[in-house]
Amino acid sequence: MFKFIVRRLLQLIPVLFGVTLLVFLMLHITPGNPAAILAGEGASQETIDNVANRLGLNEPLHMQYIYFVMDAIRLDFGTSWRTGMPVADEIGSRFWVTVELAVYSTILSVFIGIIAGVISAVRRYSFTDVGIMLLALFGLSMPNFWLGLMLMQWFAVQLMWVPASGWGSASQVILPVIALGTAGAAIIARMTRSSMLEVISQDYIRTARAKGTKERVVIYRHALRNALIPVVTVVGLQFGYLLGGAVLTETVFAINGLGRLVVDRIASRDFPVIQASVLIIATLFVFVNFLVDISYRLLNKRIDLD
Amino acid sequence: MANQDEKLVKSEASFMRLRTSPKMRSLKGFYRKLKRNRAALVGGYLIILLMIIATIGPFFLSHGINDVDYTVRLQPPSSEFWLGTDHNGRDIFSRIIYGAQITLIVGFLSVIFGGVAGVVIGIVSGYYGGKIDAVIMRIMDVLLAFPGILLALAIVSILGPSIINVIYAVAIYSVPSFARIVRGSTLATKELEYVDASRALGASDFRLIFKHILPNVTSPLIVQATLSIATAILTASGLSFLGLGAQPPSPEWGAMLNDGRGYMYDSGYIALFPGLAIVLAVLAFNLFGDGIRDALDPKTK
């Protein structure tokens, strides 16, 4: 196991190298000279040169990359081109809002997804099963921003049960979390169902039934445990997609998260903020996937990932 | 964007089973199997319907997409304006019909671009193996490290907001999943005896790839492409909703949602119908993709 963890950690290196390189290059492959963008329109060549010097854009590219990574490790992302504030300060609290949103949504989608998937599988081909699967299909075909708008329309505007925007109190959290978590719930429900069905058809389940074990015990102790193993991988991926999808939900509900910050700054081409946000989310996702791999391995001792 | 991960997980297991059996090579056999799958049929008909609406629908409309008329702004659905009017007095129904074109074009083009690139990368990786394979797959891992819409967002922030750049962004975003699936199928096919035999007879790499490898990856490819279109539509409309894709006054559905958002409090239908259109389009491709996956999977009968 230890060897496996070390090997997986070593595998992270090329991925993180690639991720940082891509994010670093964002600034350099963008059409137009970055220093000219920052200097603003109509700036003289001298101003542009000064800006380029100040940003270190005249250094060789590989040195710039090394500085970029060294700074990023110390969470120093420079200053925002728009506000002039340190990027780390701008991102700080917003990052946690986005993580909170993604975590709550993941919990919701796992909870609902697994329950719905198990019910569907146990009552295969019944009216309930068909109903749940149809709902799931709708759930994953729905844009989360539209679902958010609709929820807001009904529960915040018409019924006035909850506030329409913001983040913090439980009543503010509930709609965004439903909007963001629904597609995940649908995916997890489908995964759980097919995984359960596969497990239920196996010999050891038949044996358990044959020796007279109660159906409840068969389902929950024997089948579900094994059926959930593949679901674990989806949960990790799901968390990542929710981090990405949070961009849309945050925009709908005017939540001051990282996603909304990025969207806001794309128009003004505030590259330090965009780069830092993208880098942070991608890195977080890489580590979540690493943890998922480890837990997958712990849960399933039969597979040999070596 | 969300069902992308489901596809990835499934790609490991069920996609591997999807190698085209000889029987399925005939289009007739495929159609016969497809006909028995109700989901696929419904999805297929919906897609055809969408295409018909997108191509000839605009000829039957009495309102133009940009017929601004402030005397009829924010009207609820009526016999004159089937789905009501927006804040500029434009007919929402007409705009949605025109928007179908944009949605389908963006969906198809981005998946074609991404798919072609993914297939080439996947075949090269799987067929040649070794170092090339290792490097290519690490690059794909890097692309996959940007979750969901984030990669598309990053690309648009580099290229600048426009619907064309959204097509590129979504195309790049869909490359890794194609590459992985095709690589897997290529690896599996490469070792088959008849491919070996053909190689022994002196067939060139080019011939082996086109004659033997490519036909064997078609089934998983069709499934992946269909499901990718669903994802592409979701991602593209999301970017337009954020104001990073199609720009007003374009009747792109996501852009319409963004446009009408401020008037939603009094006129709920403004945000309702463009969203329903997105759901319908995505649903059609998801149904069809799911259906053909089941129809092509030898495990399900």
- Return d(Cα B162, Cα B86) in angstroms, integer: 23
Q: What is the pLDDT of residue A21?
A: 93
Composition of chain B by helix, strand, coil, percent to 5: 75, 0, 25
Q: What is the pLDDT of residue B266?
A: 74
Measure B5 CA to nearest chain A CA, in Å.
Answer: 6
- Return d(Cα B234, Cα A234) in angstroms, integer: 20
- b/e code A196-207 from CB counts within 10 Å (16+ = b): bbbbbeeeebee
Residue in A146, A158, A187 nearest the CB of B2 = A187
Of the listed ranges A72-76, A271-275, B20-24, the least confidently predicted one is B20-24
- Return d(Cα B296, Cα B24) in angstroms, integer: 8
* CA-based radius of gyration for chain A: 24
Q: How many domains does chain B have?
A: 1
Quickly list DSSP for B72-124: GTTPPS-SSSTT-B-TT--BHHHHHHHHHHHHHHHHHHHHHHHHHHHHHHHHH
Q: Are A286 and A19 in contact (CB under 8 A)?
A: yes
φ/ψ of residue A182, rounded to 5: -60, -50
Q: What is the pLDDT of residue A106?
A: 94
How would residue A292 be classed by pLDDT, with cut points 50, 70 and 90?
A: confident
Nearest CA in chain B to A18: B142
Q: Looking at this protein, which amino acid is placed at residue B221?
A: L
How many residues in total does chain B contain?
Answer: 301
Question: Which position has the token pair 């009543």?
Answer: A171
Q: Do B5 and A149 touch (CB under 8 A)?
A: no
How would residue A41 be classed by pLDDT, with cut points 50, 70 and 90?
A: confident
How would residue A23 be classed by pLDDT, with cut points 50, 70 and 90?
A: very high
The total of other beta-carbon atoms located within 10 Å of residue A52's CB is 18
Q: Are A183 and A144 in contact (CB under 8 A)?
A: yes
Q: What is the pLDDT of residue B45?
A: 93
Whether B45 is covered by a domain: the verdict is: yes
Q: Do B157 and A274 touch (CB under 8 A)?
A: yes
Specify the domain boundaries for CATH 1.10.3720.10 within chain A: 95-299
Q: What is the pLDDT of residue B288?
A: 92
In terms of phi and psi (left: phi > 0; alpha: psi -120 to 50; beta: otherwise), the region of A154 is: alpha
**Which CATH number fits the domain that encloses residue B167?**
1.10.3720.10
| Cα A207 → chain centroid | 40
- Return d(Cα B150, Cα B122) in angstroms, integer: 23
Q: What is the pLDDT of residue B300?
A: 53
Q: What is the pLDDT of residue B157?
A: 86
pTM for the model stands at 0.88
Q: What is the pLDDT of residue A302?
A: 60
Q: What is the pLDDT of residue B11?
A: 46
Q: What is the pLDDT of residue A15?
A: 92
Question: Which position has the token pair 């997108």?
Answer: B54
- Which portions of chain B are predicted below pLDDT 50? 1-5, 7-13, 22-23, 301
Q: What is the pLDDT of residue A26?
A: 86
Q: Summarize pLDDT for A203-227 with one digit per residue, the tens.
A: 888 888 888 888 888 888 788 888 8
Q: Does the pLDDT value for residue A252 go beyond 70?
A: yes
The total of other beta-carbon atoms located within 10 Å of residue B124's CB is 18
Q: Where are the beta strands (DSSP E) in chain A?
A: none
Q: Name every chain B residue with its beta carbon within 8 A of the beta carbon of A233.
A: 9
Residues in Cβ contact with A224 at an 8 Å cutoff, skipping those fewer than 6 apart: A118, A196
Q: Looking at this protein, which amino acid is placed at residue A200?
A: I
Note whether ipTM > 0.90 here: no
With an 8 Å Cβ cutoff, is A299 touching chain B? no
Q: Summarize pLDDT for A78-131 with one digit per residue, the tens.
A: 888 888 888 988 898 899 999 999 999 999 999 999 999 999 998 888 999 999
Q: Are A270 and A82 in contact (CB under 8 A)?
A: yes
Q: Name every chain A residue with its beta carbon within 8 A of the beta carbon of B8.
A: 237
Q: Name every chain A residue with its beta carbon within 8 A of the beta carbon of B243.
A: 263, 267
Question: Which of B273, B296, B301, B237 has its CA nearest to residue B10?
Answer: B296
Q: Looking at this protein, which amino acid is placed at residue B269?
A: Y
Q: Summarize pLDDT for B19-63 with one digit per residue, the tens.
A: 555 445 566 666 777 777 788 889 999 999 999 999 988 888 777
Whether B54 is covered by a domain: the verdict is: yes
Q: Summarize pLDDT for A139-159 with one digit per residue, the tens.
A: 999 999 999 999 988 888 888
Q: What is the pLDDT of residue B1?
A: 41
- Return d(Cα A126, Cα A115) in angstroms, integer: 16
Most confidently modeled range among A167-181, A264-278, B278-292: B278-292
Contacts A–B by Cβ distance under 8 A? 168
Residues in Cβ contact with B13 at an 8 Å cutoff, skipping those fewer than 6 apart: none
Q: Do A248 and B238 touch (CB under 8 A)?
A: yes
3-class DSSP state of B203: coil
- Return d(Cα A199, Cα B297) in angstroms, integer: 18
Q: Are A102 and A262 in contact (CB under 8 A)?
A: no
Q: What is the pLDDT of residue A306?
A: 44
With an 8 Å Cβ cutoff, is A174 touching chain B? no
Q: Are B241 and B260 in contact (CB under 8 A)?
A: no
What is the DSSP code (8-state) at residue A32? S
Whether B124 is covered by a domain: the verdict is: yes
* Preferred mutation among A105, A188, A192, A248 to probe B, highest tally of B CBs within 10 A: A248
Question: Which of A237, A287, A233 has its CA nearest to residue A16?
Answer: A287
Q: Name every chain A residue with its beta carbon within 8 A of the beta carbon of B283.
A: 137-138, 141
Q: Do B5 and A238 touch (CB under 8 A)?
A: yes
Domain span at residue B208 reads: 30-67+81-296
Q: What is the pLDDT of residue B39?
A: 81
Q: How far is CA B36 from CA A140, B29, B88, B149, B226, in A?
A: 24, 11, 47, 35, 19
Burial (Cβ within 10 Å: 0-12, 13-18, ≥19) of residue B276: middle
* Preferred mutation among A26, A146, A201 to probe B, highest tally of B CBs within 10 A: A146
Q: How far is CA B89 from CA A17, A18, A199, B60, B273, in A?
A: 52, 49, 57, 19, 16
Q: Which fold has domain A95-299?
A: MetI-like fold (1.10.3720)
With an 8 Å Cβ cutoff, is A140 touching chain B? yes
- Rounded to 5 degrees, what angle do the CA atoms B113, B114, B115 make? 95
Nearest CA in chain A to B261: A149
Q: Do B6 and A187 touch (CB under 8 A)?
A: yes
Whether B23 is covered by a domain: the verdict is: no
Q: Looking at this protein, which amino acid is placed at residue A51?
A: V
Q: Name every chain B residue with its beta carbon within 8 A of the beta carbon of A15.
A: 138, 141-142, 145
Measure B188 CA to nearest chain A CA, in Å.
Answer: 19
Question: Which of B242, B249, B126 has its CA nearest to residue B188?
Answer: B126
* Preferred mutation among A16, A130, A141, A262 to probe B, highest tally of B CBs within 10 A: A141
